[in-house]
Every structure is written in structure tokens, then in C-alpha cells.
């Protein structure tokens, strides 16, 4: 994230922030008794947060945020 310019590229900063939020949650899942469901839950939680942020700005949203359910 620090390598991104301070102006513009907000969409890339949101993507980088989502990945930064995912990393510690995945690391915690490695020590969980059922790591795969934990990782799936971490991914969907972080992705939901990312999409909420995407729809909160007046730019074109990331394509995966328009999908619903298992899609």
C-alpha cells in the first residue's frame, strides 16, 4: 500500500486494503481445527467489506461485487 500514489488510484488502495485485511485472518485459520471453512469465511467476510466500500464511492465497482450468493 505505501507504494501507491497518495492521489488517484483509490480503487487500488481499496483492493490492497482488502488483501491486507485477509492476510492475518488466513494466518489464524492455519491454526484452526477446520482451516478450509475458516478460510472461506475469512474470504467472504473480507470480500463483503471490500464490496461495501466499492459501492460507497461513485466510481465503477469491481466486477465481482455485482455477483450474489455462491457466484
∠30-31-33 over CA atoms, to 5°?
A: 100
pLDDT for res 9: 76
For residue 21, how many other CB atoms are within 10 A of its CB?
14
Question: Is the CA virtual torsion 50, 56, 61, 66 positive or negative?
Answer: positive
Cα distance between residue 50 and residue 18, in whole Å: 6
69, pLDDT greater than 70? no
CA torsion, points 64, 22, 31, 35, in degrees to nearest 10? 0
Residue boundaries of the structural domains of the chain: 8-63
pLDDT for res 19: 92
Residue bearing the bigger pLDDT, 67 or 20: 20
Amino acid at each position: 500500500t505505501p507504494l501507491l500514489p497518495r492521489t488517484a488510484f483509490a480503487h487500488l488502495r481499496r483492493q490492497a486494503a482488502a488483501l491486507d485485511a485477509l492476510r492475518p485472518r488466513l494466518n489464524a485459520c492455519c491454526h484452526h481445527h477446520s482451516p478450509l471453512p475458516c478460510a472461506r469465511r475469512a474470504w467472504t467476510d473480507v470480500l463483503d467489506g471490500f464490496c461495501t466500500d466499492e459501492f460507497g464511492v461513485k466510481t465503477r465497482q469491481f466486477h465481482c461485487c455485482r455477483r450474489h450468493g455462491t457466484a
